[in-house]
Structure 1
Amino acid sequence: MFWKKHLTSHVNMLVKDGVDNFKRTLGHNYINFLNKSPASIHFKSQLDLWKIHGSTDVFQIDSDAPGSIGLKADLEHFNTAKIDDPDTWNVYQFLVSLMWEYTILIDEHKVLPRLLEPLYGNPLRIRRGPRLITQDLSHSVSEYSLIKSKTGIQDNIRVLEIGSGYGRLAHLYKFLGAKKYVMVDISPAIIVAQNYMHNIMPNLKYFDFRPIDNFESVQQEFEQADVCFMSADQISLLPDKYFDLAINVCSLMEMKMETIDYYLKQIGRTTTGYFYTKQWTHQNNLQDQIQLTKDDYPIPRDWTKLADRVDPAFARLFEQVWKIR
């Protein structure tokens, strides 16, 4: 029920406003949270971080009117305020600026000044001077910074992302020189991601999604590709001990326990390095009558926890980094 309802909503958004506007519709169902009130926990988290950096640059923002595109979701438990509502837009702009300033503070590797938000997908136009600033870039750099600081892993690595969304982390890691990035997701996300990466990084070699009977039949093309797109049921075809880093952001929490266990075992089989996870601290799946807490994930006992923190950007999320054996 949970996934059926979500996928129907996602398809409806793409049909209604088009893939060219997915950062204003579908993107708000991933990690780009739309808040309509300064009383939200997300906004309060950013105000707490403001006390750390204390920068007045958060007020130095400019923007274009968002227009009428951007109904967040047609789901009962999601905020359905339109982003062109003046109060919602003012809160959102200030939230993005607060997040951006904190990300500057923690960005030890100076990724943020080098990585630009692609215009494909029609992101909301919020600027700091001439620079477009976005919530998605802030999340990506924050996640990368935690992984880098806790593992010391180099950038020229092989990455597996399960539940890869539209490709925001794939964009970052390929920009920084990742050897290979494999994106595993369900439709329509995997199709949106494939279209996105082809548009923003057209010079890369791609292994596009297609039905696969066995890995040997596509191995040569797979090995030659910089970025690969695969469906969730194809993860079992991937080779053993192939990846240096596995990532899951906010999708394990939406699965049943047996499915979570399956994916963690696949990560353990395919990855020899590290696993980064970000999930709700408490997930209440009303449709499937499943409740999941931070301590419920069946992490293998021989993995070593390197990091465990509340997400600085949003206190309802936790982040962990694990060493795989």
Structure 2
Amino acid sequence: MNQSISEEEGIKTLNSMIEVIKKSEVIYHPSLFWEKLNKINLQQLQTSGYQNFKRTVNQNYFNFLVTSPINDQFISLFLKWLKNPKLGVFTSRFEGDKYLECFEHKFKLNPIQQFFYKLFVSMLWEYTGTIDKENLLEKLEEPIEGNPLRISYKGKLISQDLCNSILEYYSIMNHVPSDEKENLTISELGGGMGGVHSCF
């Protein structure tokens, strides 16, 4: 059964969870790093809302704002792309608003940053396609929930997060014997926002 709760109820539940942890034994307390990050995340949710979590909270984790050609990740991916260049990456489009909040900094991507970010994500999409034996890129699309940065490529919404989830999926499945893949149960601790689960 899929039950949804209001944003206000969600924040209230998060606060009550934090209070329970504070009352628990010290061994179960998060480190100062996680306390600070959780405080920032909660503030972002209260200020910008759950409906924008991919523009706020998600930016604090595994979404890298690669907006320059001298970024190490851009260079690495560009060198891979050069081995089999797909010129279609230059046709990707950045749609909608470009506002973000990373940690406590709010900003808007300028046109140059937008160009390199959409190019990076499109090259990542093509790189992911080189190992995508199960055609997950064709089956999956970036969900609209959370108001992601909207990059349109090959007629669908793509994202760095979805590519990374597919790459993580294969990093698991490439080590599972073929005869065990049919009856496999996966349990993930600290699963974040659950991107990898969509691949299974």
Return the TM-score normalized by structure 1: 0.48
Structure 1, residues 261-287: CA drift from partner, whole Å, max 9, x if none? xxxxxxxxxxxxxxxxxxxxxxxxxxx
CA distance in 1, matches of 2:185, 2:93: 38
Structure 1, residues 289-321: CA drift from partner, whole Å, max 9, x if none? xxxxxxxxxxxxxxxxxxxxxxxxxxxxxxxxx
**Residues 53 and 105 in structure 1, CA contact (< 8 A), matched pair in contact too:** no
SS at match of 2:54: helix
SS at match of 1:106: coil
Per the alignment, residue 96 of structure 1 pairs with 121
Per the alignment, residue 5 of structure 2 pairs with none
CA distance in 2, matches of 1:52, 1:166: 33
> How big is the shift at 1:156?
4.4
Per the alignment, residue 73 of structure 1 pairs with 103
Per the alignment, residue 154 of structure 1 pairs with 181
Within the candidate set 63, 72, 90, 1:32 is matched to 63
Per the alignment, residue 5 of structure 1 pairs with 36
Per the alignment, residue 235 of structure 1 pairs with none
Matched, 1:136 2:161: yes
> How big is the shift at 1:83?
4.1
Per the alignment, residue 169 of structure 1 pairs with 196
> How big is the shift at 1:151?
1.9
Identity %: 34
Structure 1, residues 199-245: CA drift from partner, whole Å, max 9, x if none? xxxxxxxxxxxxxxxxxxxxxxxxxxxxxxxxxxxxxxxxxxxxxxx
Per the alignment, residue 44 of structure 1 pairs with 75
CA distance in 1, matches of 2:46, 2:117: 25
Return the TM-score normalized by structure 2: 0.76
CA distance in 2, matches of 1:81, 1:121: 17
State how 1:81-230 maps to structure 2 within 5 Å. 82-152=107-177, 153-154=180-181, 156-173=183-200
Letter in 2 for 1:91: F
CA distance in 2, matches of 1:162, 1:28: 20
Structure 1, residues 109-168: CA drift from partner, whole Å, max 9, x if none? 111100122111111111113211111111111111222222235154221212211111
SS at match of 2:101: coil
SS at match of 1:32: coil
**Residues 83 and 89 in structure 1, CA contact (< 8 A), matched pair in contact too:** no
CA distance in 1, matches of 2:165, 2:196: 6
**Residues 94 and 114 in structure 2, CA contact (< 8 A), matched pair in contact too:** no
Any stretches of 5+ residues in structure 2 without a counterpart?
1-31
Any stretches of 5+ residues in structure 1 without a counterpart?
75-79, 174-325
**Higher relative CO (CA 8 A, sep ≥ 6), structure 1 or 2?**
2
> How big is the shift at 1:66?
2.3
Q: Runs in 1 of length 4+ with deviation above 4 angstroms?
A: none
State how 1:265-280 maps to structure 2 within 5 Å. none
> How big is the shift at 1:53?
2.7
CA distance in 1, matches of 2:67, 2:86: 23
CA distance in 2, matches of 1:136, 1:155: 26
> How big is the shift at 1:8?
1.2
Higher helix share: 2
**Residues 91 and 153 in structure 2, CA contact (< 8 A), matched pair in contact too:** yes
Per the alignment, residue 207 of structure 1 pairs with none
CA distance in 2, matches of 1:81, 1:55: 33
Mark the CA change 1:10 to 1:22 in structure 2 (over 3 Å): closer, same or farther.
Answer: same
Instruction: Please provide the CA RMSD for this pair.
Output: 1.8
Letter in 1 for 2:133: E
SS at match of 2:152: strand
**Residues 34 and 72 in structure 1, CA contact (< 8 A), matched pair in contact too:** no
CA distance in 2, matches of 1:67, 1:97: 17
